[in-house]
A = this chain, B = another copy of it.
Amino acid sequence: MKIIHGGVTAPLGFKANGIACGIKKSKKRDLSLIVSEKICNAAGAFTANKVQASCVVVTRERLKDARAQVIVANSGNANCMTGKSGFENTKTVASCTARILKLDKKDVLVASTGVIGKPLPIKKIIGALPDLAQGLSKRGSAYAAAGILTTDRIVKEIAVEFWIDKRRVRLGAIAKGAGMINPQMTSQGPRHATMLCFVTTDVVITPNALRDALDRAVAKTFNTITIDGDMSTNDMTLVLANGMAQNKKIVEKTKEFRVFLKALETVFLTLAKQMIRDAEGATKFVEVSVTHAQTFEDARSVSKSVAKSSLVKCALFGCDPNWGRIAAAVGYANAHVDPWRMHIYLGRELVLKNGGRVAHQAKALNRVFAQKNIKITVDLGLGKYKATAYTCDFSTDYVKINSAYRT
């Protein structure tokens, strides 16, 4: 597998664009479009929040036939909790886009991110769609990636090239993160943060294999990150596979499926880590690894509990190796925990062994916590399961950004 240029336009047959239509006061790009030359097999994973933006409801519905050709997305407005007119607006965006592209509206997927509870400025979007479509190009991925950002500082985009049964194939993606990030996405049903990720690929793959790969990859990557513990109403990951690489069709439980899954996981993990590094106010990248849990769910629950703890995150910001806060967060996770069997490591330094502290030179621990990349390991000493969560620290800047977001 090789990293290549081009983002979502790297695979055969995809064009993209992103422009400013006036939703954002900053006049930055806020409307993006990705179009495939041919109809695609498609799959989506959506927030588990029970309060869902209208784009989540409408796009999930439209993916029931597992086919799509277009993704249109706006930033600056989540179009969530906007009543029935919110749904009408989502459908209007889809049908206007379809009309301009001379495609079927049921093959247009819509995504939104931004402030909740404000009516979508539908006229601005409709007015900008012709220009947006006009500018579609093979070099438009970075523009599309810019058009979905909110408080993100950097564009998140990646593409890889790999081989399926001697055919060269490509996979590209763009994403956004930054805040309200604690995604729990599945293709099945409700889960919530706003993170968006749009994936294009030219592989030939069955709809079932595509959905299965998406769910597995999302569970191991995006769903393991948390910035603020707040699950969004708008999280969405969409994959379009147009089959133009003409490889042998990928079906489940084959070697080819595993190769595709590995590529998808690599792309998602890269983007997930980019989201953490670009998180609101973040100064540190933190990996919380839990080992020897009784069940996978226990491992996952403990890793997220530590990664979400405000006190742990403040200690990380302050470079204060206060591992007692880590132990407390382990203890209130919904998991089987025996303090007398628990070990905690900061970096490679063992600080807690079987419920008792290990004496340390303060300097060694301070050195670990002074780094930009910090690994915390919790060995529960109970079973064979493990999980990793990724997070950042909690800074005064995080509070500043989020206390003045709308004003």
Contact = CB atoms under 8 A, between A and B. Distances in A.
A180 B329 CA distance: 10
18 contacts: A48-B332, A49-B332, A50-B337, A51-B327, A51-B331, A51-B337, A81-B324, A83-B356, A118-B357, A192-B332, A228-B311, A233-B327, A314-B402, A314-B405, A315-B402, A315-B403, A318-B403, A320-B406
Contacts of A230: 309-311, 325, 328-329, 332
A314 B403 contact: yes
Interface string A152-181: 000000000000000000000000000110
Between A51, A82, A394, the greatest number of chain B beta carbons within 10 A of the residue's beta carbon is seen for A51
Interface of A: 48-52, 78, 80-86, 115-119, 179-180, 182, 192, 228-233, 308-311, 314-315, 317-320, 322-325, 327-332, 337-339, 342, 351-352, 354-357, 394-396, 398-400, 402-407
A330 B52 CA distance: 11
A180 B331 CA distance: 13
Contacts of A119: 357
A334 B119 CA distance: 28
A280 B338 CA distance: 30
A49 B311 contact: no
A328 B180 contact: yes
A405 B310 CA distance: 13
Given A230-B332, A309-B230, A116 B325 contact: yes
Contacts of A330: 50-51
